[in-house]
Amino acid sequence: PVFVLNGPNLNLLGTREPEIYGTTTLADIEALCRQTADTLGVSIVFEQTNHEGALVELIHQAGEKGSAIVINPAAYTHTSIALLDAIKGVDVPAIEVHLSQPVAREAFRAVSYVSLAAAGTISGLGARGYELGIRAAVQLAQARAK
Ligand code: DQA
């Protein structure tokens, strides 16, 4: 499976700062991801957690059982060397996704530790970024399997 991982506060999507994140809920995003996976003939594991260490463990699981990672690390994007090291430490490609365009926001969002380990980043396209992220992740996984 492709592991689709979501970080802190993304459980609040729908009502959280709708002027930035829109009104799409995390359940809507999960449905879109499942639809995309069905179209591509792959399975997904979809998880959200507010805890940094839990994300580290999910990345480890993806390394053991998954073919690729699509991750929206949310605020941990900008702070977490632990997530960076976890992604570096597993042998599966990771695509970083953001609903908003972090570099166009506050200066502290311009830094992404996760980008140092991600194969690519999709940001600013809302929920559609997850669909594109899954497509990219599946292509990378398939290219590696050849
Ligand atoms: C986010 C952007 C981050 O800067 C922020 O902390 C989030 C969401 C996004 O999807 O746009 O929580 O990752």
- Which residues line ligand 1 at a C-beta cut-off of 6 Å? 9, 72, 74-75, 77, 98-100, 102, 109
- Mean pLDDT per 10-residue section of the chain, whose length is 146 residues: 98 96 97 98 98 98 98 98 98 98 97 98 98 98 92
Can you give the pTM of this predicted structure? 0.97
How far is residue 47's CA from residue 4's CA, in Å, rounded to a whole number? 6
Is residue 98 annotated as part of the catalytic site, yes or no? yes
Ligand 1 midpoint to CA 104 (Å): 12
Phi then psi for residue 73, to 5 deg, are -75, 0
pLDDT at 146 (0 to 100): 83
Ligand 1 midpoint to CA 17 (Å): 11
DSSP the chain: -EEEEE-TTGGGTTTSSHHHH-S--HHHHHHHHHHHHHHHT--EEEEE-S-HHHHHHHHHHHHHH-SEEEEE-GGGGGT-HHHHHHHHHSSS-EEEEESS-GGGS-GGGG--SGGGT-SEEEESSTTHHHHHHHHHHHHHHHHHH-
pLDDT at 139 (0 to 100): 98
pLDDT at 113 (0 to 100): 98
**Nearest CA, atom 6, ligand 1:** 75
